[in-house]
Structure 1
Amino acid sequence: MDELLEILNDLHPDVDFTTETGLIDNMILDSFDIVTLISEISENFDVTISAEYIIPENFNSAQALYALIEKLEDEE
């Protein structure tokens, strides 16, 4: 989780990703951020986020995103 928080903080250092639960709903992350996140996650966690997983629920919080990463790691 620390590695994910570091990636998120690099994108938006002004956001408290440990408590924020509306990253997409509150328009904190935009489409460019999502593309960057997917690339960074792929590189750092060795998982592939396919299009079916690119939905707001998976990107609204660091916790949801980390749960997705864990799920993808289990599938590989």
Structure 2
Amino acid sequence: MNELLDILKDLKPGVDFENEKNLIDDRILDSLDVMNLTVELNDEFDIEITPLDILPENFQSIETIYQLITRLQEDN
């Protein structure tokens, strides 16, 4: 989870990712941010986030992003 937090902080400095629960709904992350994040996550965690995975509910919080990563790692 620390690696994920570092990636998010590099992407959007100053956001309290540990407590924010509405990254998409509150427009903290926009579509470009999600695409950049997807590339970073694919590289860092050796996963493949497909267009089918790019859903708002998968990117609402650090917890939902981490759940996505974990699920994709288990599928490998």
| Same structural fold, with TM-score higher than 0.5 when normalized by the shorter chain | yes
Give 1:53 shift.
1.0
List gaps (5 residues or longer) in structure 1: none
Q: For residue 27 of structure 2, what is the aligned residue in structure 1?
A: 27
TM-score normalised over the length of structure 1: 0.97
Give 1:54 shift.
0.6
Q: For residue 51 of structure 1, what is the aligned residue in structure 2?
A: 51
**Percent identity for Structure 1 against Structure 2:** 47
1:1-76 alignment runs, 5 A limit: 1-76=1-76
Q: 4+ runs of 1 displaced by more than 4 Å?
A: none
3-state SS of the aligned residue for 2:18?
coil
Give 1:51 shift.
1.1
TM-score normalised over the length of structure 2: 0.97
The separation in 1 between residues aligned to 2:42 and 2:50, in whole angstroms, is 11
Give 1:73 shift.
0.1
List gaps (5 residues or longer) in structure 2: none
CA RMSD in angstroms, aligned pairs only:
0.5
Counterpart of 2:57, as a letter, is E
